[in-house]
């Protein structure tokens, strides 16, 4: 009888009336995990626990400063919740952007791991950063994203990325360099540009640290710098060994 007449427990005022959220964040185990409370929601009607928790998350997402009104949670915990929420929010926004660019979950996760929360700004600044910095994303994917972001077809950045891609592909076939004429015609086909567009641009590569231009008779050869260094050092080693044998 006494149990039946006992007053129903009052719902805890977790975030206070100022926030208008009837939910309490508790820390269980790992500080970086936010869990749905159980005992603290026992006064809520059955079936409404999840919706109450969701409303709390939505409120924090809109106004993280509302955590300052949580008197039942220690200040250090509130600060941890706030910083973690900001970090997770930036991650969600970055992944949403990458999904919108047509990347799948695995590719988007690799981009986020490589570039971090600043991924959207970095990709907008230079979409071809993706094929340089993220394993598994090639030039064609980066170029598709660049076109979505409005990069002009004859953009110097696009042309440079295309040339680098062609030289990489040639290296996979055993070539350390490509002659200018062959590289120009291949680039114009790849980038779908008019004939004669690429060759005038190639002279600017002489000042780009990623490339090396080397005269060979009447021809000019274009190397990726890493391959040029490897070939030069290998040639020097062969000469040195030959001289040692001749002694």
- For residue 239, how many other CB atoms are within 10 A of its CB? 10
For each successive 10 residues of the chain (247 residues), what is the average pLDDT?
43 40 37 42 44 61 68 72 74 90 93 93 96 93 96 93 95 92 93 87 86 90 93 92 85
DSSP code, position 96: H
* DSSP-based three-state secondary structure for 226: helix
**pLDDT value, residue 246:** 82
- Using DSSP's 3-state secondary structure scheme, residue 110 falls into helix
Residue 154 corresponds to which tokens in the numbers above?
């004859």
Backbone CA torsion sign across 132, 136, 138, 141: negative
Q: Can you tell me the distance from the alpha carbon of 230 to that of 132, in angstroms, rounded to the nearest whole number?
A: 20
Classify residue 209 by burial, with Cβ atoms within 10 Å: 0-12, 13-18, 19+. exposed
pLDDT at residue number 48: 45
Place of tokens 């020097």: 236
Instruction: Give 23-49 as a 3 state SS string.
Output: CCCECCCCCCCCECCCHHHCCCCCCCH
Residue 84 Cα distances to 30, 32, 78, angstroms: 12, 6, 10
Residues whose CB falls within 8 Å of the CB of residue 56, separated by 6 or more in sequence, listed in order: 14, 15, 21, 23, 25
* Tokens matching residue 167: 């030289």
Q: Which residues contact 111 (CB under 8 A, 6 or more apart)?
A: 98, 103, 119, 123, 130, 134, 137
Instruction: Output the six-digit token pair for 228.
Output: 């040029």
The 8-class DSSP code of residue 21 comes to -
């Amino acid at each position: 009888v006494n149990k039946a007449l006992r007053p129903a427990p009052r719902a805890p005022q977790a975030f206070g009336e100022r926030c208008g959220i009837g939910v309490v964040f508790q820390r269980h185990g790992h500080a970086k995990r936010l869990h749905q409370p159980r005992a603290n929601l026992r006064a809520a009607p059955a079936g409404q626990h999840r919706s109450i928790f969701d409303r709390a998350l939505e409120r924090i997402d809109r106004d993280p400063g509302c955590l300052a009104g949580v008197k039942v949670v220690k200040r250090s915990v509130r600060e941890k919740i706030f910083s973690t929420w900001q970090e997770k929010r930036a991650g969600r926004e970055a992944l949403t952007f990458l999904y919108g660019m047509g990347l799948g979950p695995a590719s988007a996760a690799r981009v986020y791991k490589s570039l971090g929360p600043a991924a959207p700004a970095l990709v907008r600044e230079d979409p071809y950063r993706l094929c340089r910095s993220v394993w598994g994303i090639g030039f064609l994917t980066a170029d598709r994203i660049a076109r979505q972001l409005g990069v002009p077809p004859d953009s110097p950045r696009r042309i440079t990325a295309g040339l680098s891609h062609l030289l990489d592909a040639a290296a996979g076939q055993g070539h350390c360099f490509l002659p200018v004429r062959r590289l120009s015609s291949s680039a114009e086909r790849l980038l779908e540009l008019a004939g004669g567009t690429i060759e005038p641009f190639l002279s600017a590569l002489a000042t780009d640290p990623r490339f090396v231009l080397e005269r060979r008779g009447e021809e000019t050869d274009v190397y990726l710098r890493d391959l040029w260094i490897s070939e030069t050092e290998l040639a020097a080693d062969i000469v040195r060994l030959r001289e040692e044998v001749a002694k």
